Structure 1
């Protein structure tokens, strides 16, 4: 009786009214804090260069200029009706609605292209290693086309798909597909032979080895490759939008360049950076859910 009371007395208890943060929450708050510090340092340096006169406000407007008047910047995002003949540029959605529509259109093209590229590239890489004849017929062509810049495919996309969402999505798929196929093949070749030998000893067929051993083994690194290519997808879709789509963030930057509006350029750049950061964060959440068998202390999930 006394021993139980004594042991209970030494057990630390949280103070009443003080919330207890989980280790994951503490790590998330620490990462957010350092992100704020990093962006704050960059912004402060930019503002300092403007304050001492080293940055021309007409060419390199400081953040407080292009972020200080968001309604004025948002009115330029109505690119869907701005260039139509006989349509009043003031018609259509409000400035804030135009910003949301533009962001949604660009993000849709990025994520649809990312999903199509991921499915096609992983399937193609697995088929190349699964069927010898398929490898002989397909791999040389993929290796030949892999070094070609995605920008070089822009005329092809316009020739095939015309104007609209399709050429931008095609550009994203092309930008990711070839490299991810080669990455898939490399990851398959690096799977530990011990895993495969154990599966064969247990009587697994070739199809079962690929489905239950090889594909789960290569997914962690492939998702990391997909995350790294996500930023490339944002770059490519902006180029495609500037020429082959009626509206999008790329179209806004092109209009800002043609009208010599540096404030709009940097405002759109800041918006794209924020969207890229949020996209990477979302992909990390998906990665954590898909790779449920990988411990959080492993390198693939470290820093998440």
Structure 2
């Protein structure tokens, strides 16, 4: 009997070899999702680059005005030497003096990123604080909200002369421009998010004897944080755009200075190389902010849209 069973098992394995083969271990869902997103990111960027290269190949793009990626990305050492803007723009100073090209790129990226994150942090703290105070104190709302609403449509570029008048030339006007670009919109977003908090949460807190201060600290602020971090992420891209304009006024090292240098010297390759670098930095900072969201919003399930990439 046992011999018949063994023979039937052998015949079954012969008929279906995959049944006896060990199955490969499945990837964890998080890793599988991360690899999928990375793959689609590479496909998206590759498609864009491929269309650009195709336009150059068939003659639709003039390489002197619209150089393809293989030109401005294939000569990184040549592009990096232009990033020593602080020394290059000084009169009577040897352009070759100062840091090496790659050190200049690192200093430039660090300087611009520092201005973006400093302005973003200041704007976030001020706007959320003032937005909460507007809804907490009726008098404060009457004194500030009309002015904030009046100034919110003003383009951040219009504040550039004001920044120069107040702070002169340096880091301060660039950071001020980032703060102004984000502040008004984030204040109004904070007020809107407070108004949209589920009233049942507030009523339950009142039933349990919570004071007004406790309701704001334990109910309203935690309720609006997820959407406020989404607003912060979206404004991050605006901060990168504004800081480049502010840096063009003269701040020593900065990506805005490199863009101005490329424009003045009619160097399209340097322009697109800097644009690619800014895009990469914006992508990385957005990813970093998403990781902060996952740590701060520990009570929000990871399947919720607030923690997923846009």
TM-score interval for Structure 1 and Structure 2 normalised by the shorter chain: over 0.9
1:28 aligned to which of 34, 45, 70? 34
Shift of 1:86: 2.4
| Counterpart in the other structure of 2:112 | 106
Moved over 4 A (4+): none
Q: CA RMSD of the aligned region, Å?
A: 1.3
Shift of 1:247: 2.0
Q: Distance in 2 between matches of 1:303 and 1:280?
A: 9
1:216 aligned to which of 211, 218, 222? 222
Q: Which has the larger radius of gyration?
A: 2
1:130 aligned to which of 115, 132, 136? 136
Summarize deviations over 1:10-69 as a string: whole Å, max 9, x none: xxxx969x6652111111110000000000000000000101111000000000000001
Shift of 1:198: 0.3
Change (3 A) 1:288 1:169: same
TM-score normalised to structure 2 length: 0.91
TM-score normalised to structure 1 length: 0.93
| Counterpart in the other structure of 1:298 | 304
Summarize deviations over 1:168-193 as a string: whole Å, max 9, x none: 00000000000000000000000011
Give unmatched runs, 5+ long, in structure 2. 1-20
Matches within 5 A, 1:239-250: 239-250=245-256
| Counterpart in the other structure of 2:269 | 263
Aligned residues: 290
SS of the residue corresponding to residue 67 of structure 2 reads coil
Summarize deviations over 1:251-284 as a string: whole Å, max 9, x none: 0011000000000000000000000000100000
Give unmatched runs, 5+ long, in structure 1. 1-13
| Counterpart in the other structure of 2:7 | none
Summarize deviations over 1:213-240 as a string: whole Å, max 9, x none: 0000000001001100100000000000
| Counterpart in the other structure of 2:198 | 192
